[in-house]
Structure formats: structure tokens, C-alpha cells
A and B are shown apart, each in its own frame.
Chain A
Amino acid sequence: MLIPHPLLGLRDAQEFTYLGDAALIDRPDPAAGEDAFCDYVFLRDNPAGVHRELWYHEQGDRSWLVVTRNTLTHEILGAELARDVALARREGRA
């Protein structure tokens, strides 16, 4: 698989390590309580189809990406800097 890195162009997926569902960006508020953190740490949607997920460019520029990929076909539909995604979400919430 080739990941279209927003800054570096197409990069081999092998250069990255994988963390999983991009929902992990949305860490619950510390006051949210144990149940919210338990869901956050352990439960996943695990969809068959389009999945937004976190990849870390460990053997590259060490940035975190949010990659949109189809888990049924492995087709990669896009990649963004996780930083941009997180900032946009924060603005959306504010």
C-alpha cells in the first residue's frame, strides 16, 4: 500500500506504524469518568468498508497522519496530517 503523505507524496506503508481508529484523537475529558475512558481505550467500531485511521511516519518525518482507507479492498482514499484534523475538530467544538 502507498500512502499519499500530504507533505512527502506517495510513501510505502511499510515506513509507518499503525495505531488504529482515528477516533482515538478524541480523548475524553478527564472529568468524563471511567466508563467513557474504558470505551475510549477498549471499544472500536471496526467497520468493513471506509475507515479513518492513524498512521505514524516512524521511518520518515515522524508526523501522524489520518488515512482514509477501505478495509475490504485496502484502497487508500486520502491522507491528512492528524494535527490538522485535531485542530479542525477543536475549532468545530469551540
Chain B
Amino acid sequence: MTFSGFRVIREALTGHKGWTPLWRDPDPQPSYDIVIVGGGGHGLATAYHLAAVFGQARVAVLEKGYLGSGNIGRNTTIIRSNYLLPGNQPFYEFSMKLWERMEQDLNFNAMVSQRGILNLLHTDAQRDAYRRRGNAMLLSGADAELLDQAGVRRMYPWLNFDNARFPIKGGLLQRRAGTARHDGVAWGYARAADQRGVDIIQNCEVTGFRIEGGRVLGVETTRGYIGAGKVGVAAAGSSSRVMALAGLRLPIESHVLQAFVSEGLKPVIDGVITFGAGHFYVSQSDKGGLVFGGDIDGYNSYAQRGNLPVFEDVLEGGMALMPRIGRARLLRAWGGVMDMSMDGSPIIDRTPVEGLYLNAGWCYGGFKATPASGYAFAHLLATDTPHETATAYRLDRFARGHVIDEKGVGATPNLH
């Protein structure tokens, strides 16, 4: 089934009876060439790229719950390529370029909206830092503009410019950044992978690995043993738990991050804004809700829900930045479990177990990475060589002293 404007009109006129499920619901086969553990954005994007770009036909994605039940359906949907360090920025710009053609590639409306992200700055030192970051972005082929206060005022005249403690002095703008419909991204990749022969198997939890002579042979699951030539793990917040089944300890702590949405409002914010003094970021969904968030709760958690002190902290940040948010009522809040790595950057690499590959450590920023992470992980699984934009994401970089620490806070996952 191909989606098109014509198709939508035809279905509208015929009572929407012609739509069919977006993917099959197959039983697992006894074995596959490549098994992906985790049916989140990264696992599904990996399967899609394995089939579409690297010609792999016998691929399965195993998901312990339902598709989209993890962070891919819980994030605040911001996509951007405004990183600083050489190991990161080219990768995220590669991802941004994939976002720009994703809907055509997948024939699926993932509501990719390049509405721009504005990182506000409040001090002279921050202006210097953002100028440097903007230059790093330009060098990687991304777009960046440094705005002065007047420039920010033209975009968002209602921000709290004269806050006594944190006056807004300007901002770093990336116009090509924006948002996308998070679960739409999962559905789009799932459908496109399924169409190319990938088996997407839900309610199938991996409970162990069969490893002999240092080589992985397959996975034990709640739906029986499944043999595999190679296994790629993309289990996000559960990375440590899954890799412990293979006897590996990771440079990762799992933490909970909360997000919030207000009641639906008339259009007030047409882009993404981040506060540069506290941790607060906000955009407006197409339904009108203000979608916002801030810091992680800061303690190890697998609970998918957080505590009230972070509510208070995030909402205070919002009030400092845009006092009129105080009139809006909070509709919902939720949490997701993230794999916070020791340097705040991800891992896409082989592991000491032959045939077992790892995609992990995405912290609170893995949604924007979904297309490139899938591409790079598929590249690694198919060719046994890293993709050119992902060569720094090695598992042994901590031991070698080649950490990619954007924030420069060291091995303290809750500060990244």
C-alpha cells in the first residue's frame, strides 16, 4: 500500500475502508542472518537500512513490548544538529540530512517540521561559546546563525528579556532544526522495513544469549530460541540489563527523564526555544499543547516515572523564560528511562563477544539521531566497518582516553 494525497481523498470518499495494517505480525522463524534486539526508533531504523541500503533480506526486530512503547514514543521530538565536538557534529548533521529526505524514502508522513531551534544566551561568555559552536556547525556543513537581542526580539517579542538575573542577550539559531512526530517515525520505519521483508516481532523479550567459544549463536526469548548470524542490541534504557545477559558491564547508568504537555492552546510558539540559564526547552505540538522538559531526575531509575522536585524545577525555568506560560494548565507528564553514558555520547560498536554488536548510550538526545544511528548501525552490522560519521563511538574509548564529553563534566552520567 502506497500513501499519496490521491489515496487519502479516495479513502475519505469511500468511508476509509481500504486501509490495511502497516506491517505484518509474523511468528518468529527459527533463525535469521541478523537479529535486532529492541523495536524502538533505533532498532527499526537499523532494520530498515539493513534491508533498504545493505541488501540484507533475513532480518528480525525483537521487541519485548509493543512497537513504540519505549523512548521513541516518549520523547519531546526535537531534531537538531547543533553539537560542538568533531566526533559528534558530523554524525548529527548526517542525521539531519536523512531527516530531510526521510518522508520520501519511507513514503510516510512523519510530520518532520523544520521550524528552527533557538538556544538563548544570557551572558557574554555564553555568546563566545555559542559563536564557537556555531562555527563548528558551519564547518560540518550545518546551518547556524548567531542572533543579537534585537534578532531574538523580532522572533519572540514576548520572552522575558529583562529578567534581572538572566537577561536574554541573544541566541544561536539553527533554522533547519525542528520537530517530528515521534511515534510516526517508529511506524514509518516499521512499515518500510516490513515491506522489504523484515520480520517485526512484538511481545518477544530477549532473556539470554547463546554464546559458544566467544561467539554469539542466537538469542533466548519469551517466544523461544532464535538463531542469529549476528545480533545487534538497540535497547536504549535497558542496554545494561540486556548486555549483562552476555556478561558485559557498560559505561552506562539508567536514568529517568520527564516530559510535560499543557492543554491545547492557540498557536503561540512556532519553533523550538531553549533557556540558556536553567534547563528548560519548549515547542508547541500541532494539536496546540506546549511540549516541554528539562533536566533528568538524577538518580538511577528504571521506573518510567519521576518525582515532583523536577516538576517544580522545570516549571520554574518555564516561568523565568516566558512568564505567560503560568496561565496554561498542565495536562500530562510522563517519564522515560535513558541510558546515560559516562561521557554523554553514544556507542555504536562491536563488543568482545563475536557477532554481538551494541548501539547504546543515547542519553536524552537519541531521537534526533534515529535515522543516522540506524544507518550507521546497519553499516557496522552489514560491513563490519564503522560508518564514516560514527568512527568515534567506540566502546573502548573510555579505556583509551578518547571520551566525547560535550559538557566537560567527566564520568558523572547525571550531569551530562
User: Which residues on A are within 8 Å of B, measured CB to CB?
Assistant: 1, 12-14, 17-21, 34-35, 38-39, 41-48, 51, 53, 69, 71-74
Verify B303–A35 contact, CB threshold 8 A.
no
- Using Cβ atoms and an 8 Å threshold, which residues of chain A touch B252? 44, 46
Smallest CB separation, B208 vs chain A (Å): 16
- Cβ of B399 < 8 Å from any Cβ of A? yes
Verify A43–B249 contact, CB threshold 8 A.
yes
With A13-B307, A14-B309, A74-B307 as contacts: A42 and B342 at CB distance below 8 Å: yes
User: Which residues on B are within 8 Å of A, measured CB to CB?
Assistant: 238, 240-241, 244, 249-254, 298-303, 307, 309, 342, 398-399, 411-414
- Using Cβ atoms and an 8 Å threshold, which residues of chain A touch B413? 20
| Cα of A54 to Cα of B207 in the assembled complex, Å | 30
Q: Closest B-chain residue to A75, C-beta based? A: B303
Verify A41–B302 contact, CB threshold 8 A.
no
With A18-B298, A43-B249, A72-B302 as contacts: A48 and B241 at CB distance below 8 Å: yes
Q: Which of B244, B249, B299 meets A53, CB within 8 Å?
A: B299
| Cα of A34 to Cα of B398 in the assembled complex, Å | 11
> Can you give 17 contacting A-B residue pairs, CB < 8 Å?
A18-B414, A20-B414, A21-B300, A38-B398, A38-B399, A42-B398, A42-B399, A44-B240, A44-B253, A45-B240, A45-B244, A46-B252, A51-B300, A71-B254, A71-B302, A74-B301, A74-B303
Q: Which of B238, B250, B301 meets A43, CB within 8 Å?
A: B250
With A35-B399, A42-B342 as contacts: A71 and B251 at CB distance below 8 Å: no
Smallest CB separation, A17 vs chain B (Å): 8
Q: Closest B-chain residue to A34, C-beta based? A: B399
Q: Which of A1, A45, A48 meets B307, CB within 8 Å?
A: A1
Verify A46–B253 contact, CB threshold 8 A.
yes
Smallest CB separation, B302 vs chain A (Å): 4
- Using Cβ atoms and an 8 Å threshold, which residues of chain B touch A13? 299, 307, 309
Verify A20–B241 contact, CB threshold 8 A.
no
- Using Cβ atoms and an 8 Å threshold, which residues of chain B touch A69? 299
| Cα of A43 to Cα of B399 in the assembled complex, Å | 10
With A18-B299, A38-B398, A72-B303 as contacts: A44 and B249 at CB distance below 8 Å: yes
With A46-B240, A71-B303 as contacts: A41 and B411 at CB distance below 8 Å: yes
- Using Cβ atoms and an 8 Å threshold, which residues of chain B touch A19? 412
Smallest CB separation, B25 vs chain A (Å): 28
- Using Cβ atoms and an 8 Å threshold, which residues of chain A touch B414? 18, 20
Q: Which of A21, A42, A72, A73 meets B251, CB within 8 Å?
A: A42
- Using Cβ atoms and an 8 Å threshold, which residues of chain B touch A74? 301, 303, 307
Q: Closest B-chain residue to A55, C-beta based? A: B299
| Cα of A29 to Cα of B238 in the assembled complex, Å | 32
Central interface residue in A1, A17, A43, A53, by most chain B CB within 10 Å: A43
| Cα of A35 to Cα of B411 in the assembled complex, Å | 16
| Cα of A72 to Cα of B411 in the assembled complex, Å | 23
- Using Cβ atoms and an 8 Å threshold, which residues of chain B touch A14? 309
| Cα of A21 to Cα of B253 in the assembled complex, Å | 9
| Cα of A20 to Cα of B414 in the assembled complex, Å | 9
Verify A71–B301 contact, CB threshold 8 A.
yes
Q: Closest A-chain residue to B399, C-beta based? A: A38
Q: Closest A-chain residue to B302, C-beta based? A: A48
- Using Cβ atoms and an 8 Å threshold, which residues of chain B touch A42? 251, 342, 398-399, 411
Smallest CB separation, B27 vs chain A (Å): 28
Q: Closest B-chain residue to A41, C-beta based? A: B411
- Using Cβ atoms and an 8 Å threshold, which residues of chain A touch B244? 45
Smallest CB separation, B344 vs chain A (Å): 13
- Knowing that A42-B251, A48-B302 touch, tell me 13 more A-B residue pairs with CB under 8 angstroms: A13-B299, A20-B253, A20-B300, A20-B413, A38-B399, A42-B342, A42-B398, A44-B249, A46-B240, A46-B253, A46-B300, A51-B300, A53-B299
The 7 closest A-B pairs by CB, nearest first: A46-B240, A42-B251, A42-B398, A48-B302, A43-B249, A14-B309, A38-B399
| Cα of A19 to Cα of B244 in the assembled complex, Å | 22
| Cα of A18 to Cα of B252 in the assembled complex, Å | 15
Verify A43–B251 contact, CB threshold 8 A.
yes
- Using Cβ atoms and an 8 Å threshold, which residues of chain B touch A72? 302-303
- Using Cβ atoms and an 8 Å threshold, which residues of chain B touch A46? 240-241, 250, 252-254, 300
| Cα of A71 to Cα of B254 in the assembled complex, Å | 9
| Cα of A71 to Cα of B241 in the assembled complex, Å | 13
| Cα of A69 to Cα of B298 in the assembled complex, Å | 14
| Cα of A47 to Cα of B300 in the assembled complex, Å | 9
Central interface residue in B241, B252, B399, by most chain A CB within 10 Å: B399
